[in-house]
């Protein structure tokens, strides 16, 4: 396909802008942190309130109880999960805590292999497991906070219970190649638990092709789903072998028996539920999932690669140091600029309705998404350049 054809195809995605009111009033380059709100969410939440108001407790049987499974299937479709394999939770941290509560960290197989660049919330969770018998093996980063797959693979052996790591690193947006890691984990008899938050919605993920056991993510970022909805995929081959200690009445195969135990876990994904689901958060997430599923991960990725390449070229032209990977196969959806005075520049840009963010140690993070116009790339990079210059950088 020629460049001109690729651009014409990619440009069709800007038609989705009408569904995202926020993107017209700002330069919206922060979808790695909080994706723009789909217009339909307002009506969806109103409808939820109306159902509650008019139907009362009957709402559970008339749809509410089935909702988390239906919404899990929509998000699961984005990463090729089999229907009925995704459970919905409040956030990634809770989803991982539930998944890890099913792992018996008993020597000699008591290691959890993770990386220094995993999201802090999860590193704190692993720290907690260390007090309960797990030995945490944290793979160190190389220059530029890069993680080498070879280092992870070398750390996996018969002592490894779980390999838990990010697919796309949150600081520098590096893609970690999961296939060889998942293969090695399988050979060694270890489980895989992938944090795909910075991947799903911008980088295509296929859980079946990768052969990962468990995968989590949230909704706030690339999926434009707002707070309150994380998800957990567990592969059908692993599911019934896992018995989470963090559980609840809705994980029981017949919750309305109100059986006082011992529990009998649901054979499906509901075995990973806990108590009453947080429906408003899930309902708010649904429109974003549907839009991403309709556009398709491949089309979003093609546009992201095109636009991040342009931003990197502009950064080079303007002398702004790029600290995220340049190679397409390594590059997630975010461009990171390690400019002098990044924190102050970020604050000044935010005050001028340029929406981006700053992370200590890496600098400014900027992300286009499927709703970004090509013309905005030049605009945002010029604003960043001028702000950095103004600050004397
Ligand atoms: C890779 C990654 N994992 C996890 C989180 C946080 O997860 P949660 O707040 O849903 O627990 C973030 C960002 O907030 C992230 O970038």
pLDDT in tens, 333-389: 999 999 999 999 999 999 999 999 999 999 999 999 999 999 999 999 999 999 999
Q: Is 219 in the pocket of ligand 1 (CB under 6 A)?
A: no
Atom of ligand 1 nearest to the CA of 230: 10
Distance CA 154, CA 49 (A): 52
Q: Is 166 in the pocket of ligand 1 (CB under 6 A)?
A: yes
- Residue 10 has a pLDDT of 52
pTM exceeding the 0.75 threshold for the entire prediction: yes
Q: Is 216 in the pocket of ligand 1 (CB under 6 A)?
A: no
Answer yes or no: are the C-beta atoms of 305 and 175 closer than 8 Å: no
For residue 387, give every residue at least 6 positions away whose Cβ sits within 8 Å of its Cβ, in sequence order, or none. Answer: 345, 348, 349
Q: Whose CA is nearest to atom 16 of ligand 1?
A: 170
Distance CA 81, CA 78 (A): 8
Q: Is 244 in the pocket of ligand 1 (CB under 6 A)?
A: no
Give residue 377 CA to ligand 1 midpoint distance, Å.
Answer: 26
195: enclosing H helix or E strand = strand 191-195
Question: Does residue 133 carry a pLDDT above 60?
Answer: yes
33: enclosing H helix or E strand = none
The percentage of the chain sitting over the pLDDT mark of 90, rounded to a whole number, equals 96
- Tens of pLDDT, residue by residue over 34-53, are 999 999 999 999 999 999 99
Give residue 196 CA to ligand 1 midpoint distance, Å.
Answer: 9
Give residue 218 CA to ligand 1 midpoint distance, Å.
Answer: 7
For residue 138, give every residue at least 6 positions away whose Cβ sits within 8 Å of its Cβ, in sequence order, or none. Answer: 114, 115, 116, 123, 126
> Which region, left, alpha or beta, applies to residue 141 given φ > 0 means left and ψ of -120 to 50 means alpha?
beta
Give residue 10 CA to ligand 1 midpoint distance, Å.
Answer: 28
For residue 57, give every residue at least 6 positions away whose Cβ sits within 8 Å of its Cβ, in sequence order, or none. Answer: none
Tell which residue, 331, 322, 310, has the closest CA to residue 373.
310
Q: Is 195 in the pocket of ligand 1 (CB under 6 A)?
A: yes
Question: Does residue 300 carry a pLDDT above 80?
Answer: yes
Question: Does residue 116 carry a pLDDT above 60?
Answer: yes
Q: What is the mean pLDDT of residues 235-241?
A: 96
With H, G, I as helix, E, B as strand and everything else as coil, classify residue 15: helix
Q: Is 196 in the pocket of ligand 1 (CB under 6 A)?
A: no
Q: Is 172 in the pocket of ligand 1 (CB under 6 A)?
A: no
Q: What is the mean pLDDT of residues 264-280?
A: 98
Q: Is 332 in the pocket of ligand 1 (CB under 6 A)?
A: no
Answer yes or no: are the C-beta atoms of 113 and 332 closer than 8 Å: no
Cis check: omega of the bond before 355, within 30 degrees of 0: no
- pLDDT band at residue 3 under the 50/70/90 scheme: very low
Give residue 254 CA to ligand 1 midpoint distance, Å.
Answer: 32
Count the neighbouring beta carbons within 10 Å of the beta carbon of residue 199: 26
């Amino acid at each position: 396909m020629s460049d001109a054809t690729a651009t014409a195809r990619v440009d069709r995605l800007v038609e989705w802008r009408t569904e995202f009111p926020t993107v017209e009033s700002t330069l919206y380059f922060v979808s790695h942190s909080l994706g723009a709100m789909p217009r339909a969410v307002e009506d969806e939440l109103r409808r939820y309130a109306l159902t509650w108001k008019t139907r009362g407790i009957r709402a559970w049987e008339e749809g509410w109880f089935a909702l988390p499974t239906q919404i899990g299937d929509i998000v699961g479709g984005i990463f090729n999960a089999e229907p009925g394999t995704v459970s919905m939770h409040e956030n990634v941290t809770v989803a991982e805590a539930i998944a890890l509560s099913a792992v018996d960290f008993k020597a000699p197989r008591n290691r959890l292999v993770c990386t220094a660049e995993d999201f802090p919330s999860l590193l704190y969770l692993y720290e907690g497991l260390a007090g309960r018998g797990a030995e945490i093996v944290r793979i160190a980063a190389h220059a530029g906070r890069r993680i080498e797959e070879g280092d992870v693979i070398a750390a996996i052996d018969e002592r490894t219970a779980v390999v838990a790591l990010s697919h796309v690193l949150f600081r520098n947006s590096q893609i970690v190649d999961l296939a060889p890691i998942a293969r090695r984990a399988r050979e060694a008899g270890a489980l895989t638990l992938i944090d795909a938050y910075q991947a799903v919605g911008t980088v295509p993920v296929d859980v079946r092709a990768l052969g990962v056991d468990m995968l989590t993510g949230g909704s706030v970022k690339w999926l434009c789903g707002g707070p309150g909805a994380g998800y957990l995929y567990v592969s059908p081959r692993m599911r019934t072998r896992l018995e989470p200690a963090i559980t609840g009445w809705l994980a029981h195969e017949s919750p309305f028996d109100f059986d006082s135990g011992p529990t009998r876990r649901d054979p499906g994904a509901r075995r990973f539920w806990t108590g009453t689901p947080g429906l408003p958060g899930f309902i708010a997430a649904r429109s974003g999932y549907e839009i991403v599923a309709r556009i398709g991960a491949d089309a979003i990725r093609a546009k992201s690669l095109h636009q991040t390449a342009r931003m990197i070229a502009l950064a080079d032209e303007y002398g702004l140091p790029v600290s995220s990977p340049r190679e397409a196969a390594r590059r997630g959806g975010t461009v990171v600029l390690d400019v002098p005075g990044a924190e102050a520049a970020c604050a000044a840009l935010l005050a001028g309705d340029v929406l981006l963010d700053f992370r200590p140690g890496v600098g400014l993070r900027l992300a286009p998404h499927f709703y970004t116009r090509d013309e905005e790339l030049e605009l945002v990079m010029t604003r960043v350049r001028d702000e950095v210059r103004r600050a004397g950088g």
